[in-house]
Amino acid sequence: MSPEQAQAKELDARTDLFSFGTVLYEMTTGQMPFRGNNTTIIFDAILNRTPVAAAQLNPKVPIQLERVINKCLEKDRNLRYKNASEIKADLVRLQKRTESTVRSGLHQRAWLYGANFSFRKWTSQLKWILVGIATLLVIMLLVAGAGWLKHRVKTVQTGNLTIAVLPLVNINNDSETEFLQFALADEIANALTYTHSLEIRPSRSTQKYVNGEANPAKAGRELGVGTVVAGHFVRQDKNLMVTLEAVEVKDNRLIWTGTLTSTTDNLIALQNQIAKKVRQELVPALGISGGTVEPGSAPVNREGYNAYLRTLAMSHDAAANKDAIAMLERAVKLDPNYAPVSFFFIE
């Protein structure tokens, strides 16, 4: 995931080149450039931290190859390569320089034989790395028109149409929007309930994953579902950016990603985007015909809808939290025709 994906910004070809840079980094070092024990730490690394230099982890990495990797992994996409052809040109130059060095090494004096043998052994390894890189570049160029990482959507097998929506990760730990961790997950699950062929795990079974530490596939196995929806959100001033992904549990395979943006004072607009994304993108990615999806009711009162969302992160036991019940009653009064509000209150 690139920094712009993590911030739910508009994506372009340079996003794919960032992903390609992570592949190069792992090929040359054996490690991922951005690591962490949970998604919050990983997102922070992607957005704010520079990975350990490839040559520091593997001293045999040529400085020219390290420069290629670093340029791919620039957090500002304006500083990255503009397209895959530019990367290919730099790698071809590196390959030619390497081969030239090997040929000149053959004419060295006998007392340098041992050093030359070791060098040729590494350059042989580098050559195969470059071959692998070139292969990846060919793949990128062939599928660039389809948007490769940006637009890849694969359908899952329909044998296990069970799904769980995990609480979203609050990237900057903003207390003002903390309630959205549960609220947005609940709205996604609510939008999915109108697809009759899906079995959706209740929110009470997914609340334990609120810290964002669990891998979606691992959480899915624990919950006994075929697909897991996870994601995160970031508030910047009055703007809210949400990034979602659906993972097929069996093969730990990403089958769908989506981004949503809204202002914090118009969460109804965000709910409309969620309903549209679920109906037009997520459900088809699950291999389900759009004809099985029924439209649900939509909120119309901003204040009432905001109150309802805040109650989703609160206890609904009157003895434990009277404020939550009062807020829910107000939500029903302000927007009585929004079905989830009325149904939740009846429960």
pLDDT at 227: 94
Residue of higher predicted confidence among 100 and 110: 100
Q: Is the pLDDT of residue 58 over 80?
A: yes
Neighbours of 324 (CB within 10 A): 18
Determine the distance from the C-alpha atom of residue 173 to the mean position of all C-alpha atoms in its chain, rounded to a whole number. Answer: 18
Beta-bridge partners for 232: 169, 243
- Hey, what are 79's tokens? 């500083």
Query: pLDDT higher for 321 or 229?
Result: 229
Q: How confident is the model at residue 52 (pLDDT cuts 50, 70, 90)?
A: very high
| pTM reported for the whole predicted model | 0.54
- Per-residue pLDDT, averaged over 334-344, amounts to 55
* Distance in angstroms (rounded) separating the CA atoms of residues 9 and 127: 37
Burial 41-66 (b: 16+ CB within 10 A, else e): ebbbbbbeeebeebbeeeeebbeebb
CATH code: domain 3-150 is 1.10.510.10
Instruction: Supply the pLDDT for residue 171.
Output: 86
- Domain 153-283 carries which CATH code? 3.40.50.10070
In this prediction, residue 57 has a pLDDT band, given cuts at 50, 70 and 90, of: very high
With tokens 């609940």, the residue in question is: 186
pLDDT of residue 115: 36
